[in-house]
Structure 1
Amino acid sequence: MTAAQADLAPTRSDIAEKLGDLRLDRPQVEDGAALWRIARDSKTLDLNSSYSYLLWCRDFADTSVVARDSGGDPVGFISGYLRPDRPDTLLIWQVAVDAAQRGRGLAAAMLDSLSASVAKESESGLSTLETTITPGNTASERLFASYAERHGASVETEVLFDAGLFPDGGGHDPEVLYRIGPLSF
């Protein structure tokens, strides 16, 4: 990590300040229904089956994060996984924050915390973060551009899945792959 990266890297106190009364935690199976509701209520994410959120909380808890309010209820989450063919690459699947919690930097705090945790716990480390974003999703574009800037990494983009690949008759925009790296922690 360069001195500039170290200056931009969030500290635990930076994250705690952004979170206030919220805390970050590993998702539990019992959180699956709440994560499904948060994704549904976002009105921007592709909503997966409720079953998939339960499985995600069970099988990918180590590469995902949930934000909890003071009562322990989920108010935001990030789901992700390490790519099997690139175990040093964390793919972020979904980022969602409850409407009442938006605008306070929660998504950025979750993303910073999750990537630092994965970098520390992964045998391969973490050199690259990937996500897909549909064109026009400016909130996600800003989130990941600011993440790259904070971590002194470059961003490469390319269309990963063209709209024609989706089976729902052209009802899906293309998914643009954002590859952020190299990362160092």
Structure 2
Amino acid sequence: MATQTEPLIETPGIQDGAAVWRIARDSRVLDLNSPYSYLLWFRDFARTSAVARGERGTPVGFVTGYLRPDRPGTLVVWQVAVDGAHRGRGLAGAMLDHLAARQAARGVRYLETTVTPGNTASDRLFTVFARRHGAALERQVLFDAGLFPDGHDPEVLYRVGPLS
């Protein structure tokens, strides 16, 4: 099994849904989806997602993603989170690198995600990811705040690629 400094990063399974939901909830940053949605996600989109496992094999981080139906060469990263006890070690970047390498073998050359203004951790994560992969990074508002019914901040689309 992996050590705390070297977590095992692999494809998630439905058995990881509850733990990932707790990581998302405890992040206090992510929009929390229902526990059911994480189970469905890992049933239907496991190949385009990743989980990092700690010493005991339990999830300590995750990335959820899917391939855009109208652009199958583009991986959309939905959520990235790391358990509080494992932050600051580069785990989020390692999970993104792992997932990008897995998807490159399937012809994926672009990564998209959305980041709310003021989320400096996510901005830094994807900016550094683009630099590390020698890729361009384009930003533009995808969903203006007025589209949300609950006062949500706008979501800015980050498009990274082509990945090398």
Q: 2:42 aligns with which of 51, 57, 68?
A: 57
Q: Which runs of 5+ in 2 are unaligned?
A: none
Question: Which residue matches 2:161?
Answer: 181
Question: Which residue matches 1:149?
Answer: 131
1:71 aligns with 2:71: no
Determine the C-alpha separation between the residues in 1 that align with 2:13 and 2:66: 16
Determine the C-alpha separation between the residues in 1 that align with 2:163 and 2:8: 25
Cα distance, 1:20 vs. partner? 2.8
What is the alpha-carbon root mean square deviation over aligned residues? 1.4
Cα distance, 1:167 vs. partner? 1.9
Whichever of the two has the greater Rg, that structure is 1
What is the correspondence of 1:80-159 to structure 2 with a 5 Å cutoff? 80-120=65-105, 122=106, 125-159=107-141
Determine the C-alpha separation between the residues in 2 that align with 1:118 and 1:41: 28
Determine the C-alpha separation between the residues in 1 that align with 2:125 and 2:6: 22
Q: 2:10 aligns with which of 25, 38, 63?
A: 25
Determine the C-alpha separation between the residues in 2 that align with 1:21 and 1:102: 13
**Which digits, 9 at most, give the CA deviation of each residue in 1:40-74, with x for residues without a partner?**
00000000111100001110000000000111100
Matched length:
163
> SS of the residue aligned with 1:111?
helix
Determine the C-alpha separation between the residues in 2 that align with 1:80 and 1:41: 20
Which residue identity is paired with 2:11? Answer: R
> SS of the residue aligned with 1:147?
helix
Cα distance, 1:21 vs. partner? 3.8
Determine the C-alpha separation between the residues in 1 that align with 2:108 and 2:78: 16
Give the TM-score normalised by structure 2: 0.96
Cα distance, 1:183 vs. partner? 1.2
Question: Which residue matches 1:11?
Answer: none
1:166 aligns with 2:148: yes
Question: Which residue matches 1:10?
Answer: none
Determine the C-alpha separation between the residues in 2 that align with 1:83 and 1:46: 20
1:37 aligns with 2:17: no
**Percent of pairs with identical residues:** 69
More helix by share: 1
> SS of the residue aligned with 2:111?
strand
Determine the C-alpha separation between the residues in 1 that align with 2:50 and 2:144: 29
Which residue identity is paired with 2:89? Answer: R
Determine the C-alpha separation between the residues in 2 that align with 1:76 and 1:167: 30
